[in-house]
Copies of this chain bind each other. A is one copy, B any other.
Amino acid sequence: MPNTPNPTDTCPIPLRHDDVIVTAHGGGGRMTRRLIEEVFAKAFDNPLLRQLHDGATFSVGDGKLAMTTDSYVVQPLFFPGGDIGSLAIYGTVNDLAMCGARPLYLTTGFILEEGLPIETLKRVVASMQRCAEEAGVQIVSGDTKVVERGRGDGLYINTAGIGVVEHNLEIGAKSIKPGDVILLSGDVGRHGIAVLGARGELALEMPVESDCAALWKPVEALLESGIEIHCLRDLTRGGLATALIELATDSGLEFSITESAIPVQDVVRGACELLGFDPIYLANEGRFIAIVPEADAEKGLRELRRFTKDCEPALIGSTNSAEHGRVWLKTVVGMERPLDLLSGEQLPRIC
């Protein structure tokens, strides 16, 4: 393949056998992708894992199912708009939704640190149950482990989930076609700033609320409206930019994105300017992109609007055939620049 480098092939820090884990391996950027490709994908290689989507889809009997998992290590445990429990439910529900699957059942595994107040655990568990009810899923099995003081951080949660696929679409990067449009479900960057604010590392005039939300209902609406969805991706670690770069890489297409079309709340933009962050790399927990045929753009936006209260869904770009998958951002000053995976870590432990 010719000279334009694939973003993941330019990792400045190769994964050598004498390397150790650093926090950037968990940041969702280049080092995370490299770790996944070099260690996990290589060893566990199979066709389902190779889908490299938010979850795996497969058939069991006459049904098509999706299955996914995520661990949650957010610090602090509680923040404006959510907590580790709501993340643990919504995060896994959303990964299923991104497979176009109706979330059905979750499992949950707790790793508790000695000394955690049981009252704290009860608050988190109550939040999980509220969110599970709202998202229409049941927690059907669980596990609890305890580690000594100083071997954890209060509590870590893993959730895994299965959902059922009730349509015949192939939703994934490989289904994206040149000429598709990219719809964004709402404003970006709030979750990252909300967690940072809750850590007290940021003197915000008003607390920013996380966008933390379940995404199955808007996805269901898109499916029921008959739109030919090509791809869905929620914008968690690494934010909108990372999701776009990964999908461009995996589809082999060029994405053209218009920066001015991306909704960002003023308070988030202000915090980003202060801290030198780019809001499109900040984590979200209730936002996604839908990549659909251009003809379905208006219908898609209309459906997405039904599920937003305080922000506007937007058409932010389109896809074109190209020699290599990559993302071009038309900036607010009219320049075009390629987006790249973060090589380090912007904000650790935001989910």
Contacts and interface: CB of A to CB of B under 8 A. Distances in A.
A114 interface: yes
Interface string A99-110: 000001101111
A46 B143 contact: no
22 contacts: A17-B118, A20-B118, A21-B112, A21-B115, A21-B116, A23-B148, A26-B145, A35-B144, A36-B144, A46-B139, A49-B138, A49-B141, A55-B141, A60-B61, A60-B65, A67-B105, A73-B147, A111-B111, A143-B158, A147-B156, A152-B152, A152-B153
Interface residues of A, number: 83
A140 B58 contact: yes
Contact of A69 (B36, B70, B160): B160
A148 B75 CA distance: 11
A146 B21 contact: yes
Interface string A21-62: 111111100001001100110011010110000011010111
A111 B68 CA distance: 16
Contacts of A105: 48, 56, 58, 67
Given A116-B21, A152-B151, A158 B69 contact: yes
B160 A107 contact: yes
Nearest to A25: B146
A349 interface: yes
A71 B158 contact: yes
Contact of A118 (B19, B116, B152): B19
Give the interface centre of A35, A60, A129 by most chain B CB atoms within 10 Å. A60
A61 B32 CA distance: 37
A329 interface: no
A26 B126 contact: no
Given A22-B114, A150-B150, A158-B160, 11 more contacts: A17-B119, A17-B122, A19-B117, A21-B113, A26-B145, A39-B125, A40-B142, A43-B126, A44-B132, A44-B142, A69-B141
